[in-house]
């Protein structure tokens, strides 16, 4: 059976009648010493409640810029971002962010890290620690509550970051390549964990990634972006059965989805490599 592929760029990809996240015609231009350049151009898509959507693209396509715009960390862009129909400027309580770089607080224990947003919300100590314990157990770190991040592996620290963000109970979980620094096996297993949590909580999730396997394994839809300027090239509906786990990676349908997306992605990645080489050539040798 051929995977179902929806070609929907550049028109907005409508996920449902009332999307939870609506990104409408977003563009971002930067002024650099080499001149102005467009990082992302006219990107529109929506994410429905409970949906898992991945944005995939080659390095330099503006994925992280898009992450920062949706998360409210970057302003001064064109277009609109709406959460549950309300336009947002700046950070929003409904969006919880998980960063690519290791971002646990090294001076706090696992439990204290996860309890951080609850502390901000003014929750009483006993209540917030009990609640934090629930999220620690959700990411499979029970027994490590009193450890400091320095005593954990990279994968465990990323799970602490995810638990901390989940503890703030965001409407939308926004993740920027959270497993990029991990080895492939850990990445697949943690992907399983994230999917399991997402299905359990029915958590609306937007994942920024450059990993094809990860995108297909986890997502309901994959948005493929072009190399600079980042535009939406294609939207692929992943119709693999739910509940899903890493076993799906070996299936024939999975392979067809990966091949389908790779076909588009290879073109963009090649363009990116050629652009990098041209830039290096233009810069000349270092004296």
Partner 1 sequence: MSETPATARSRMAAHAAGAGTVLAGVVLVEALIRAGVINGFVVPLPSAILAAFPRVIVEENVLHRFWQTTQEVMWAALLLAVFGVGLGALLYRYRLLRRACETWVAALAAAPIVLMYPLFLVIFGRSATTIVAIGFAAGLSAVILKTVEGLAGTRRVLLDVGRSFRLTPAQQFRMILLPSALPSIFVGLRLGLIFAMINIVGVEFLINFGGLGQLINDLAERYDLPATYAAIFFVVLVSVVFFVVTERLERWAQRSA
Nearer to partner 1 among residue 12 and residue 155 (C-beta)? 155
* Residue 3 is a binding residue for partner 1 (CB under 8 A): no
Query: What is the phi/psi pair of residue 254, to 5°?
Result: -60, -45
The angle, 0 to 180 degrees and rounded to 10, between the axes of the packed helices 110-120 and 154-167 is: 20
Closest contact distance (angstroms) between CB of 117 and partner 1 is 6
- For residue 237, CA distances in Å to 7, 72, 133, 202, 284 come to 10, 27, 35, 18, 44
Nearer to partner 1 among residue 151 and residue 183 (C-beta)? 151
- Taking CB under 8 A as the binding criterion, the range among 4-12, 48-56, 71-79, 193-201 that sits at the site for partner 1 is 71-79
Q: How far, in Å, CA of 216 to CA of 122, rounded?
A: 39
78, 151, 184, 276: which one binds partner 1 (CB under 8 A): 151
* Residue 143 is a binding residue for partner 1 (CB under 8 A): no
Would strands 172-176 and 204-209 be described as parallel, antiparallel, or unpaired? Answer: parallel
- Taking CB under 8 A as the binding criterion, the range among 95-103, 210-218, 256-264, 271-279 that sits at the site for partner 1 is 95-103
Residue at token pair 């999975």: 254
11, 16, 93, 278: which one binds partner 1 (CB under 8 A): 93
- For residue 38, CA distances in Å to 35, 127, 210 come to 10, 47, 20
* Residue 91 is a binding residue for partner 1 (CB under 8 A): yes
Closest contact distance (angstroms) between CB of 57 and partner 1 is 21
Contacts of 219 (CB under 8 A, 6+ apart): 52, 53, 54, 207, 238
Closest contact distance (angstroms) between CB of 112 and partner 1 is 9
Question: Residue 14 corresponds to which tokens in the numbers above?
Answer: 């409508």
* Residue 57 is a binding residue for partner 1 (CB under 8 A): no
- Taking CB under 8 A as the binding criterion, the range among 34-42, 69-77, 195-203, 227-235 that sits at the site for partner 1 is 69-77
The contact mask relative to partner 1 for 155-174 (x = CB under 8 A, - = no) is: -------------x------
Nearer to partner 1 among residue 9 and residue 156 (C-beta)? 156
Q: First and final CA of the chain: distance in angstroms?
A: 57
Nearer to partner 1 among residue 97 and residue 194 (C-beta)? 97
Nearer to partner 1 among residue 120 and residue 278 (C-beta)? 120
The contact mask relative to partner 1 for 98-137 (x = CB under 8 A, - = no) is: -x-xxx-xxxx-------xx--x-----------------
Q: How far, in Å, CA of 11 to CA of 230, rounded?
A: 15
Give burial (CB, 10 Å; 0-12/13-18/19+) of 169: middle
Q: What is the DSSP string of 129-150?
A: HHHHHHHHHHTT-TT-TT--GG
Binding site for partner 1 (CB under 8 A): 71-73, 91, 93, 95-97, 99, 101-103, 105-108, 116-117, 120, 147-148, 151, 168
């Amino acid at each position: 059976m051929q995977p179902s592929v929806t070609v929907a760029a550049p028109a907005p990809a409508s996920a449902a009648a009332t999307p939870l996240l609506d990104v409408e015609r977003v563009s971002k231009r930067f002024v650099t010493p080499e001149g102005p350049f467009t990082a992302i151009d006219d990107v529109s898509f929506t994410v429905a409640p409970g949906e898992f959507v991945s944005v995939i693209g080659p390095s330099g396509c503006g994925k992280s810029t898009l992450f920062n715009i949706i998360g409210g960390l970057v302003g001064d862009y064109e277009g609109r971002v709406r959460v549950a129909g309300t336009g947002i400027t700046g950070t929003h309580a409904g969006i919880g962010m998980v960063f690519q770089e290791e971002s646990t607080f090294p001076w706090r224990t696992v439990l204290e890290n996860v309890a951080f947003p609850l502390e901000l919300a003014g929750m009483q100590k006993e209540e917030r620690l009990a609640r934090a314990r629930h999220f620690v157990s959700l990411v499979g770190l029970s027994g490590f509550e009193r450890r400091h991040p320095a005593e954990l592996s990279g994968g465990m620290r990323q799970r602490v970051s995810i638990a901390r963000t989940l503890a703030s109970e965001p409407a939308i979980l926004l993740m920027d390549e959270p497993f990029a620094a991990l080895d492939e096996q850990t990445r697949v297993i943690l992907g399983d964990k994230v999917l399991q949590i997402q299905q359990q909580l029915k958590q609306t999730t937007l994942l920024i990634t450059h990993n094809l396997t990860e995108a297909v394994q986890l997502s309901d839809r994959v948005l493929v972006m072009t190399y600079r300027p980042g535009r939406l090239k294609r939207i692929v509906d992943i119709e693999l059965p739910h509940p899903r786990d890493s076993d799906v990676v070996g299936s024939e349908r999975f392979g067809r989805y990966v091949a389908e997306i790779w076909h588009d992605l290879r073109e963009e990645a090649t363009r990116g490599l050629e652009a990098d080489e041209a830039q290096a050539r233009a810069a000349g040798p270092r004296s």
